[in-house]
Amino acid sequence: EIVMTQSPATLSVSPGERATLSCRASQSVSSNLAWYQQKPGQAPRLLIYGASTRATGIPARFSGSGSGTEFTLTISSLQSEDFAVYYCQQYNNWPPEVTFGGGTKVEIK
Amino acid sequence: QVQLVQSGAEVKKPGASVKVSCKASGYTFTSYYMHWVRQAPGQGLEWMGIINPSGGSTSYAQKFQGRVTMTRDTSTSTVYMELSSLRSEDTAVYYCAGGPTAWNYWGQGTLVTVSS
């Protein structure tokens, strides 16, 4: 099983500042990497897929980079609505294998 | 617009089974694989398995092999996830999710509580 490790577990950031979240895979996942945002009581929302492609309707302040085993989600200027938990996910539709990282909570500093 | 609407909350006793439904609308039902994932209280996301709505083929995470069954009904555009031999550790919110690129669409979640 591919293990996904996210760091840090918690990130304290002031509104308007830049946030950088990391995700590492235990073996190469090529670019089959997605990022999701989850707010309390809500289902996750897809932000980035293919490691760097923004999903429909996602603001340009969200960007993803990386390939292989090292990935980064950057939020260029944090807005109040961005404080949430972020998960990375490696995915392969068939043969299916899906694992999530443990999440990074972005909180207000 | 695309919607995945799940069935309501369930309370089950240990050893029982639960069956959660996920009704799709707004797109061609057989176009996207559908996944099931769960989230225990205060915890992260855990993938359970996948079903191909077109042919009905499935693949389950090893952890759930033998306890989970995923099915679909193309006449109602609905996928189902049944989990048996429930224990307290299965208390979680269960989500269906899928889409054309990664998991664009999610159900609203179904809380399953296992308690004696």
Please give the DSSP secondary-structure letter assigned to residue B9: P
Mapping DSSP onto H, E and C, the string for chain A reads CCCEEEECCEEEECCCCCEEEEEEECCCCCCCEEEEEECCCCCCEEEEECCCEECCCCCCCEEEEEECCEEEEEECCCCHHHCCEEEEEEEECCCCEEEECCCEEEEEC
Average pLDDT over residues B67-71: 98
**Three-state DSSP state, B91:** coil
Could you report the per-residue pLDDT of A21-42, keeping only the tens digit for each?
999 999 999 999 999 999 999 9
Side-chain-facing half-sphere of B60: CA atoms under 13 Å:
13
pLDDT of residue B93: 98
Query: How high does pLDDT run on average in chain A?
Result: 95
pLDDT in tens, B80-99: 999 999 999 999 999 999 99
For A97, the closest chain B residue by CA position comes to B61
Q: Which of B89, B90, B102 is nearest to B20 (CA)?
A: B90
Distance between the two ends of chain B, CA-based, in angstroms?
Answer: 40
Distance from CA of A18 to the nearest CA of B (A): 24
Does residue A94 register a pLDDT over 80?
no
Which of A46, A56, A100 minimises the CB distance to B45?
A: A100
What's the pLDDT tens digit per position in B43-59? 999 999 999 999 999 99
- Best of B103, B104, B105, B111 to disrupt the A interface by mutation (most A CBs within 10 Å)? B103
Confidence band (pLDDT; 50, 70, 90) for A1?
confident
* CA–CA separation, A90 and A98 (whole Å): 6
Q: Convert the pLDDT of each residue in A8-21 to its tens digit.
A: 999 999 999 999 99
Query: How distant is the Cα of A68 from the closest Cα of chain B, in angstroms?
Result: 17
The alpha carbon dihedral of B107, B111, B114, B116 has a sign of: negative
Partner-chain residue, chosen from B46, B47, B102, that has the shortest CB–CB distance to A49: B102
Alpha-carbon span B74 to B23, nearest angstrom:
10
A-B contacts at Cβ under 8 angstroms: 62
A56 in reach of chain B (CB within 8 A) = yes
Q: Which two tokens stand for residue A8?
A: 């840090």
Q: Which residue has the tokens 């959660």?
A: B20
